[in-house]
């Protein structure tokens, strides 16, 4: 393989990695902006494997988005997803995996509660008709802090390395 072909291949790989990161950021922004149709568009059509622990396990993007709408698409829910430390590995021209860390903050202004999570996504991606899409996503919680601020001051109600038992 000549030098020009090697450089072209490296550029293609860098562009693929950048596109995958941009996809994940679009997904997180769509969640924060309460845009279920944009959340849906980030996942591949057909069977997918979504495991978001305490939120649920889903085998289609439509099933996940229905729960997203029920839980998060309300004026009194203010969510902030902040992705960091992305590690994307290409598994060929049209497949990839990634570990992307997340810092998440959710305010419930009606119930006066706050949840802060730390954790990471383990994702699988596939290029479909030239577009990268999520085909599997698992979120693992590694840190949780829950607070209640209904009494006019913030009180920690739970802190740990996993979600509390329901």
Q: What is the pLDDT of residues 130-160, one digit of tens each?
A: 999 999 999 999 999 999 999 999 999 999 9
Residue of 34, 25, 24 lying closest to 106 (CA atoms)? 34
Distance of CA 85 to the CA centre of its chain: 13
Domains of the chain: 3-160 (3.10.450.50)
Among 120, 126, 118, which residue's Cα sits nearest to residue 138? 120
pLDDT at 165: 87
According to the model, what pLDDT value does residue 42 have?
A: 98
What average pLDDT is seen over the chain?
Answer: 97
Residue with token string 């020009």:
4
Helix (H, G, I), strand (E, B) or coil at 66: helix
């Amino acid at each position: 393989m000549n030098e020009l072909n090697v450089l072209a291949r490296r550029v293609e790989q860098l562009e693929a990695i950048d596109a995958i990161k941009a996809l994940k950021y679009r997904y997180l922004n769509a969640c924060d902006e309460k845009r279920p149709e944009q959340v849906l568009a980030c996942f591949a059509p057909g069977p997918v494997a979504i495991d978001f622990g305490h939120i649920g396990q889903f085998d289609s993007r439509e099933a996940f988005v229905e729960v997203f709408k029920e839980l998060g698409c309300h004026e009194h829910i203010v969510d902030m997803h902040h992705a960091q430390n992305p590690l994307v590995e290409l598994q060929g021209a049209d497949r990839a995996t990634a570990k992307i860390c997340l810092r998440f903050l959710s305010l419930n202004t009606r119930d006066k509660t706050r949840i802060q999570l730390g954790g990471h996504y383990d994702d699988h991606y596939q290029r479909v008709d030239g577009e990268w899409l999520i085909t599997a996503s698992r979120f693992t919680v590694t840190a949780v802090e829950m607070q209640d601020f209904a009494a006019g001051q913030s009180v920690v109600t739970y802190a740990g390395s996993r979600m509390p038992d329901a």
